[in-house]
Amino acid sequence: MKKYLLASLIFLVSLNISFGQVNENSYAKAEKEINSVYQKILQEYATDKEFIKNLRSSQRLWIQFRDAEVKARYPDREPGYYSRVHSMCLANLKTELTNERIKTLRVWLAGIEEGNVCAGSVKRKH
C-alpha cells in the first residue's frame, strides 16, 4: 500500500512539473508570436508616424495592464500561499491575456472590410 501511495505521489508531482513546463512553453510561444505580430505592424504602417507613436504607447500600456491583471489575480503573498502550481497558473493567465492582445493586434494586419466607416487607422481589405 505504501509503495502504491508513493508511486502515485511521484506520478502526480511529475505530472504537475510537466504541465507547468507545457504552460510556460505556451506563454513563451505567445510572447514570441505577439512580438512577431507587433513587428509586422510596425513595418506595414511605417509611414504613418502618428499611428506608430500611438501603437507604441498602447503596447506599453497593455503591458502595464497585463502585469496589473496578474498582480490582481495573484497579489504578493508569503511563499507557498498559492500552492506549487502557482507558476503554472501565472503562465496560463499571461498566455490567455497575451493571446487576446494578439487577436486585437492582428486586426491591423488583416484589415477591415471596405466600407466600414469606423475602421480608423486600420487598412481596408480589397
CB 91 within 8 A of CB 23: yes
Q: What is the mean pLDDT of residues 93-109?
A: 96
Residue of 74 and 11 predicted with greater confidence: 74
CB 34 within 8 A of CB 101: yes
The span from the CA of 42 to the CA of 123, in Å, is 13
Q: What is the mean pLDDT of residues 32-50?
A: 97
Q: How confident is the model at residue 18 (pLDDT cuts 50, 70, 90)?
A: very low
Distances from the Cα of 17 to the Cα of 8, 82, 109, angstroms: 14, 15, 37
* pLDDT tens digit sequence for 45-74: 999 999 999 999 999 999 999 999 999 999
CATH of domain 17-104: 1.20.1270.180
Q: Where are the domains of the chain?
A: 17-104
The span from the CA of 98 to the CA of 63, in Å, is 9
Q: How confident is the model at residue 4 (pLDDT cuts 50, 70, 90)?
A: low
